[in-house]
Structure 1
Amino acid sequence: MKRIHIAVNHVGFVVKNQVVQRVLTSGKYWLGFGEKLELHDKAKAFQTNHDVDVLLQIEGFAALVEQVEVADGCLCIVFINENFTKILTAGRYIFWKGLRNYRFHMEDTSTMVISSALGRNLLEWPEFAPFVRQYKLDPAEKGLLFIDGQFQQVLEGGVYTWWKNATAIAVSKVDTRVLSVDINGQEILTKDKAQIRVNFSVRYRVLDVVRALLENKDHEKQLYMLMQLLLRTYIGHMTLDEIMEKKDDVNTFIASEAHVQAASLGLEIQFCGIKDIILPGDVRDIMNQVLIAEKRAQANIITRREETASTRSLLNTAKLMEENAMLFKLKEMEYVEKISEKISTVSLSGNGQLIDQLKQWFVKS
């Protein structure tokens, strides 16, 4: 016989011939011949080498533990004193009663939806990563949800979580802000056989997410091709001079046509226009020569116009002076004054007739 003592928060298994005979709680006991004691601390996780089903048949054991059965396709979230501790997958688990306050929350992961009882903060724990699928859409994005290849709904910006299981989930997303696409280096033959290169720019936004992503494949590439065709079709029916003179008309036509056709892609054209028209080197030289000739002709016209106006003014002045002797005298004195401004020194020699001669030069009798 052997006297034993079991402390508080401990449980003892009395074992004989490797078989548990009875279960003891805190207190003092006697062990019989061939019996041994196994102590278990209830503050620690339940661990034993004995068969649990056999232990449950022993009187008093079932009252000391709590059994948790997790079925296939389910998870059990364990809380101790309302704090998350761990996740249990399919199987049977044993927990000691009495020392800690356990709470077990069951979730069916065979479905997609995660119960609202599990907050987002809890799902951010690393332990949930193997079991949760997460998709994030920025505020300016929208997405389409596909379940097992079938379209289900439009998703707005936010964070979406689903259980990982056999269900196939996919999310296609698109940016709904105003976007731009440049159509550069388009070589186009004009009506008068001039080969030019055009750089074109388009600003657009996705208006109908379902039409853009579900009914059309690669809507951005289709928009690019649409603008290419419209640009080539319209410019191909214009001469080079018409293109240079009516560039705004080109923008207006393409914008109106693109607005209708882009709607079938779920897009809205907000602005489009020609950025650059690049001419071949020889054509550019000819255009420069034409421009210089035009400017010279304009300069000659202006010069002739000014000369004509000046001559007409002189004729009018002459007619006035012919009709008015006083006006002629004033004009004469004006010229004498201008001539005098150019004379810096006057030298006189001879008799007193010089004064009379000067008077004759500057004063008409």
Structure 2
Amino acid sequence: MLETSARLLRLLSLLQAHREWSGTQLADRLGVTARTVRRDVERLRELGYPVNATPGTGGGYQLGAGAELPPLLLDDDEAVAVAVGLRTAAGQGIEGIGETSVRALAKLEQVLPHRLRRRVGALNAFTVPMLRGPQSSAVDPALLTELAHLCRDAERLRFDYRGHDGGETRRTVEPHRLVCTERRWYLVAWDLDRADWRTFRVDRLIPRPPHGPRFDPREPPAEDLAGYVSEGVSTHAYAVRATVRLLAPLAVAAERVSPSAGTLEPDGDEACVLRTGAASLDVMVIHVMMAGLEFEVLEPVELIDAIRTARDRLDGALTRASGPRTPAGDRAQAPRA
């Protein structure tokens, strides 16, 4: 059996990780009796953690927002600063930070007193960030935390969605995880109407509450969800797909090709394979050339013809540019009428 202090930390972690637990579930997780769980909950309340209890067979324990901020070694000003910082980091889509920021923000906002929530909301409402890239792909951090809560609590989500072609549909899904790239956020979810896993751009969805009911989480579509999303948004979403061998080590190519532009896998020490997609073969030629690396086309063979066509156009442009040209100052002026 865990010591009391370690057990309290474990209990607090469980309450933060899930929306509601029954007394029996907590007792099983902690290896103690239901009576001990009740005593430990009282100890957390004495420390300032707002643990709500619902009596009855369908009741349980839930960590809620209280009148005072629990002892996180933060005063009010520090708590506001942390919340604003987490929201900013989440909205920037910084690689390796965005997803962690959303999880931390969801935990912090769950226990923030209402007076501090108002301060955080005011700061975000009247602060204008200078973001890189198109503003149309920016995501409200409040939406990210809402989706994170739904993933955590295994609650169904209904939303309006604008697809890649501009068409709008109403979707009902079982949300699983949020995945972020350096530019965008994606929701991986089980689509109930299509009975399959789907990836949705978060900036294209508008939630339609109420949420729920709850569901039993499914086995995810892949162990590496980041790779799953990368392949879906960079390859499967496009009509034209290609596989090329880049004549550069994987580490070098990874600096030139973002996860949203294609998936990479090693091919020996001095080369790697890129799988990517584009709207047309002409766009694919430009897309591959933009990597700035020597390459070999593996498939489709039609891409080779598109490259030859592009080469001929470039050769023609260079030939015309290298011909004799008359300086502008030496050109004879046309006679006036």
Query: TM-score, normalized by length of structure 1?
Result: 0.20
Q: Which has the higher strand share?
A: 1
Pair member with larger Rg: 1
Query: TM-score, normalized by length of structure 2?
Result: 0.21
Q: Which structure has more RCO (C-alpha within 8 Å, separation ≥ 6)?
A: 2
